[in-house]
């Protein structure tokens, strides 16, 4: 059986009142895979991702049987060691990336900070790498973007900046949480094609979280379906889409249109 590059087993998350938000969920990602987690808002998919990265809000309590990051068990690691591992090796594109950047700080200062911190490089080296990555993700004038404030660039540009930010430390894995929400179809397709290129050409494994089954259908080889905090179905995307077993998955399929 193939070992998981990243995996959390038997995850349960509760709030301060003891309400169960995520109930006995297990998800994993193998090397070079493009895997999706799909479900409606409130299904627990983002909380599951946050638990996997050990960045849940302090108001929530997570319990799990096993947590593996980059083929390493986190058992015995302290919080600082886990943060360092995540910061160096896992590129995280958070939910609602359009508003993720600080509005009053220039892009060049924001995009270089993690690189300087984790890689112990100079600001000049960070700026040079950031410009290369901005070009790589399709920004034709990286110098202008680097010297801009977030409000001076478009939503699609912000998405690409955040993708470049996630790539700054040459991560071995990318985790993207609903990065295409509220984008128009053209920009959404551009962003997804960037992820697809990273996966296919660079071999970077991607865990992609979305409520949009069409995106999962088009780009992911394997899928987890979450509903009301539970994992209700999982398997190859082709199998889940052609022979869905759970009523919620069938409902999602009935209510969506295939991306052309």
Task: Judge whether 152 lies within some domain.
Answer: no
- The CA angle 243-223-30, to the nearest 5 degrees, is 130
pLDDT in tens, 114-171: 788 878 899 999 999 999 999 888 788 999 999 999 999 988 788 888 888 888 888 8
Task: Judge whether 50 lies within some domain.
Answer: yes
Residues 6+ apart with CB under 8 A from 260: none
Strand partners, 35: 207, 222
Do the Cβ atoms of 180 and 212 come closer than 8 Å?
A: yes
Residue at token pair 């112990």: 120
Task: Judge whether 241 lies within some domain.
Answer: yes
Strand partners, 210: 38
Mean pLDDT of all residues in 182-209: 84
Mean pLDDT of all residues in 47-68: 91
Task: Judge whether 126 lies within some domain.
Answer: no
Evaluate if residue 96 carries a pLDDT over 70: no
Task: Judge whether 20 lies within some domain.
Answer: yes
pLDDT at 45: 94
Mean pLDDT of all residues in 166-194: 82
Task: Judge whether 39 lies within some domain.
Answer: yes
User: What percent of the chain clears pLDDT 90, i.e. is strictly above it?
Assistant: 48
Task: Judge whether 193 lies within some domain.
Answer: yes
**How many domains does the structure of the chain reveal?**
1
Task: Judge whether 43 lies within some domain.
Answer: yes
In angstroms and rounded to an integer, the radius of gyration of the C-alpha atoms of the chain is 18
Inter-axis angle of helices 79-89 and 107-119, nearest 10: 120
- Quote the distance between the C-alpha of residue 236 and its chain's center: 19
pLDDT in tens, 5-38: 899 999 999 999 999 999 999 999 999 999 999 9
Instruction: Note down the domain range covering 57.
Output: 6-96+174-255
From residue 105, give the alpha-carbon distance in Å to each of 171, 235, 250.
Answer: 24, 43, 45
The SS3 of residue 94 is coil
| 62 confidence band (pLDDT: 50, 70, 90) | very high
Which two tokens mark 227? Answer: 């509903």
14: CATH: 3.40.50.300
């Amino acid at each position: 059986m193939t070992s998981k590059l990243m995996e959390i087993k038997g995850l349960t998350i509760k709030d301060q009142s003891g309400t169960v938000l995520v109930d006995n969920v297990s998800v994993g990602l193998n090397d070079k895979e493009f895997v999706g987690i799909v479900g409606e808002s409130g299904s627990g998919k983002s909380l599951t991702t946050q638990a996997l990265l050990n960045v849940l809000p302090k108001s929530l309590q997570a319990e799990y049987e096993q947590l593996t990051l980059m083929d390493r068990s986190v058992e015995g690691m302290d919080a600082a060691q886990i943060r360092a591992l995540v910061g160096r090796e896992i590129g995280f594109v958070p939910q609602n990336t359009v508003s993720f950047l600080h509005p009053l700080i220039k892009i060049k200062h924001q995009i270089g900070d993690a690189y300087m911190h984790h890689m112990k490089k100079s600001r000049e080296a960070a700026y040079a790498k950031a410009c290369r990555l901005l070009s790589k993700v399709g920004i034709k004038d990286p110098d202008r973007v680097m010297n801009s404030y977030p409000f001076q660039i478009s939503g699609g540009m912000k998405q690409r900046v955040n993708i470049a930010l996630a790539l700054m430390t040459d991560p071995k894995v990318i985790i993207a949480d609903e990065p295409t929400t509220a984008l128009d179809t053209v920009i959404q397709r551009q962003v997804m094609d960037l992820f697809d290129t990273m996966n296919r050409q660079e071999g970077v494994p991607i865990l992609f979280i979305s409520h949009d089954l069409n995106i999962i259908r088009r780009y992911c080889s394997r899928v987890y379906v979450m509903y009301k905090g539970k994992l209700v179905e999982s398997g190859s995307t082709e199998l889940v889409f052609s022979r869905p077993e759970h009523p919620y998955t069938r409902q999602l399929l009935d209510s969506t249109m295939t991306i052309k």
